[in-house]
Amino acid sequence: MNGADWPSSLHLVGSRALGGAERWVQRFTAALAARDAPVTVGVRAGSAVARLDMGGLALRTLPFRSVWDPISRAAVTRLVREVRPAIVQTYMGRATRLTRLSGAHRPIHIARLGGPYRLAPYRHADAWIGNTRWLCNWMVAQGMPAERVHHIYNFVDAAEPLPVDEIAALRSRLLIPDNALVMAALGRFVPVKGHEVLLSALARLPTEIAGQSWRMVLVGDGPLRGALMRQSAELGIADRLVWAGWQRSPGAYLQLADLVVFPSRDAETLGNVILDAWAWRRPLVTTSFRGAREIARHGEDAWCVPCDDAPALAEGILQLLADQPLREALISRGAERAATEFAQDGIMLQYLALYRNLART
């Protein structure tokens, strides 16, 4: 998969803030750059996305001021004419809506979706990528032509463990006692991530588990942060929570954790945290949201509990922390799946095949 294999591509994302979709754009375009693929990335000027490292790629900035802004649409058109890619891949509604390609020799427009968004801004694309089978089936049910809807899962990056002393230093900075069990929950503080239920579950745990105190490290940020902090104080667990904030590279927090907890609600489409926990060889308790039902296997590679059920989530946490052989079995099978089904090389081969097929049509 060297650069000569890849059709040239332009990737456009109009987001201002960072989230799962933006992190995927960063990882995907960096993977393209690592393969010397001819790739250009257009981002919103002044956005947090514009400060990300896309594998050393030089970023092109565009206004992306609103979904209807004619100046932004003209800027996209100019960039497409300048770069002349074979493929234009857009992410989220703003970039997709503002990308309007015309002409006999125009590029192929692919819109990549990470959830069941309102489809009106996406229907003018030539093809659509969904990151789960459920999402692709949903698009077809909404009237998208099945032959133009393509399923490709996200890949997970291989873990790159840090030296033990760096993890010890992180633990010290977070003021976590040496003998405390560490749980980690990663995700934006938005309703679909289920943090309210997580806090309710944590309040049901004893102060010590198997003779050890515990801490929950919350890796993320978002509009619910204030409400969650108030909830933790009302529940009497504020002293056992660590608010780590948004982390561009959360690997150190996964390495620190004895257990990863993923409490998302049913509307969560994929759930990259599942893949990250597997890659970092960490036992996982997850709710059975729609993405987990598709990729996780209860009792084999994850411990799955019902969504929005604090007692069940608390019981699942205790079950896993009390059963070392079970944890080790989940870790082994999850790591195997991360290294095979969700490895970067395999997923990128699927993208290469799709790009080459579309570029020929």
Q: What are residue 253's DSSP bridge partners?
A: none
For the structural domain made of 3-155+343-360, what CATH number should be given? 3.40.50.2000
Which residue, chain included where needed, has tokens 């997709």?
96
3-state helix, strand, coil in the chain (%, to 5): 45, 20, 40
Looking at residue 188, its pLDDT comes to: 92
In this predicted structure, what is the pLDDT of residue 3?
Answer: 77
User: Distance between CA 336 and CA 342 in Å, rounded?
Assistant: 9
Express as a percent the part of the chain with pLDDT over 70: 99
CA distance 136 to 258: 35
Query: Region 332-338: what's the mean pLDDT?
Result: 98
Q: Parallel, antiparallel, or unpaired for β 303-305 and 284-287? A: parallel
pLDDT tens figures, 100-150: 998 888 999 999 999 999 999 999 999 999 999 999 999 999 999 999 999
- Which amino acid would we find at residue 155? F
Looking at residue 9, what is its pLDDT? Answer: 97
d(CA 204, CA 169): 30
Q: What is the pLDDT of residue 21?
A: 86
Q: Report the predicted TM-score, pTM, of the whole model to 2 decimal places.
A: 0.93
pLDDT at 361: 61
Q: How far apart are CA 281 and CA 270, in angstroms?
A: 19
Residues of the chain with CATH 3.40.50.2000: 3-155+343-360, 164-340
Per-residue pLDDT at 329 exceeds 90: yes
pLDDT value of residue 278: 98
What the block records as the tokens of 14 is 């109009």
Contacts of 85 (CB under 8 A, 6+ apart): 7, 8, 9, 10, 38, 40, 107
The CATH architecture of the domain made up of 164-340 is 3-Layer(aba) Sandwich (3.40)
Task: Give the three-class secondary structure for 63.
Answer: coil
When pLDDT is cut at 50, 70 and 90, the band that residue 261 belongs to is very high
Segment 67-81 shows an average pLDDT of: 94
Is residue 187 within 8 Å of residue 265, measured between CB atoms? no
Higher pLDDT, 162 or 246: 162
pLDDT for res 104: 80
Q: Which two tokens stand for residue 301?
A: 């590679």
Average pLDDT, the chain: 95
The stretch 21-44 carries a mean pLDDT of 94
E strand intervals along 247-318: 259-262, 284-287, 303-305
